[in-house]
Amino acid sequence: MQTRRLGNTGLEVSAIGLGCMGLSFAYGPALDRTAAVALLRAAVERGVTLFDTAEVYGPFANEELLGEALAPVRERVVIATKFGFAIDPATGRQAGLDSRPGHIRAVAEASLKRLRVDTLDLFYQHRVDPDVPIEEVAGAVKDLIAAGKVKHFGLSEAGAQTIRHAHAVQPIAALQSEYSLWWREPEQAILPTLEELGIGLVPYSPLGRGFLTGAIDESTTFDSSDFRNAMPRFSAEARKANQALVDVLGDIAVRKQATRAQIALAWLLAQRPWIVPIPGTTKLHRLEENLAAAEVELSSDDLRDIRAAADAITVYGARYPEHLQKLVGR
């Protein structure tokens, strides 16, 4: 597996990481724990070194899963986790945002225990909290870094000005935000800002939550607990309208003797040398398929054709329902 550096902080990881949320949260029933541990260890064996989780995935269950699975290979991996949501102890559900410095410290201590580590490799603010100045957030993480509790600071779904203000207090290693062929908004202001400041980008949902693989169409039904049911972009009408993008990927995949997923990931890797996508999966064959994307070489002509085709297609449907859309891009 090739490696890449996330920004100017010296954080080196595999060119493709693993998003772990779906193992225990959001996309239907959680994967059997034994199977999930086996998948995580298989990823390590295949060269993956960046594993992404968060306290809110489960909540808590995903961090505990990674703590168990990765303990034997701790020195070989980089584990990223997140703070920023309040979690109701009575219900275990999200209860708004909370990035107060005291809460950040408490989350860090709890995550260290669940992950069975002495230091958090990469600690992201999950969503920007409008009630807490970003300078205070960055300062709290700076203190955790000074105390040896955290190695690197990150933000998720933050706007360009927020990134600048935070970076001035504590250098940011990476921004985690959605970026793919069907969500290219980061190209407008985010990518230039990251390039200027020397910050890496970790795109989540690089395969459009599965849509870009071609495995989902207008007739697909999701488990009742799958949060795609609430996403406007996954309405049957939107899926039908957005099939044109999947068809284009299919044409290019045939030409390159690859899969749609591999083309979508290879396209992301080709955008900048400091981009590290984190596709998620619960299946070993999909993991292997995704990792093989790092070996797919797209020529300048290929990239031009992909961009021209994507530019010609209008993607329908908001990526989040309104109450969640308000939490991104701040």
Cα 226 to chain centroid distance, Å, stands at 18
At 183-222, the pLDDT tens digits run 999 999 999 999 999 999 999 999 999 999 999 999 999 9
* 124 is an active site residue: no
Average the pLDDT over 116-128 and give the result.
Answer: 98
Confidence of residue 91 (pLDDT cuts 50, 70, 90): confident
Q: Does the pLDDT at position 48 exceed 90? A: yes
108's tokens? 């860090």
Residue type, 155: L
Three-class HEC string of the chain: CCEEEECCCCEEEECCCEECHHHCCCECCCCCHHHHHHHHHHHHHCCCCEEECCCCCCCCHHHHHHHHHHHHHHHHCEEEEEECEEECCCCCCEEEECCCHHHHHHHHHHHHHHHCCCCEEEEEECCCCCCCCHHHHHHHHHHHHHCCCEEEEEEECCCHHHHHHHHHHCCEEEEEEECECCECHHHCCHHHHHHHHCCEEEEECCCHHHHHHCCCCCCCCCCCCEHHHHCHHHCHHHHHHCHHHHHHHHHHHHHHCCCHHHHHHHHHHHHCCCECCCCCCCCHHHHHHHHHHHHCCCCHHHHHHHHHHHHCCCCCCCCCCHHHHCCCCC
Other residues' Cβ atoms within 10 Å of the Cβ of residue 223: 11
Contact 142, 168 (CB under 8 A): no
pTM given for the model: 0.97
CA distance 172 to 138: 9
CA distance 33 to 44: 17
CATH number for 3-325 (one of 3.90.1570.10, 3.20.20.100, 3.30.70.360, 3.40.50.300): it is: 3.20.20.100
How much is the mean pLDDT over the chain?
Answer: 96
φ/ψ of residue 275, rounded to 5: -105, 130
pLDDT number for residue 44: 98
Q: CB burial class (10 A; 0-12, 13-18, 19+) of residue 194?
A: buried
List the domain boundaries for the chain.
Answer: 3-325
Average the pLDDT over 159-163 and give the result.
Answer: 98
CA distance 81 to 63: 8
pLDDT number for residue 92: 83
CA distance 199 to 208: 23
Confidence of residue 322 (pLDDT cuts 50, 70, 90): very high
Find the angle CA(204)-CA(207)-CA(212) to the nearest 5 degrees: 155
pLDDT number for residue 6: 97
- Choose the catalytic residue: 57, 124, 179, 204: 57
CA distance 108 to 106: 5
Average the pLDDT over 71-93 and give the result.
Answer: 94
pLDDT number for residue 93: 86
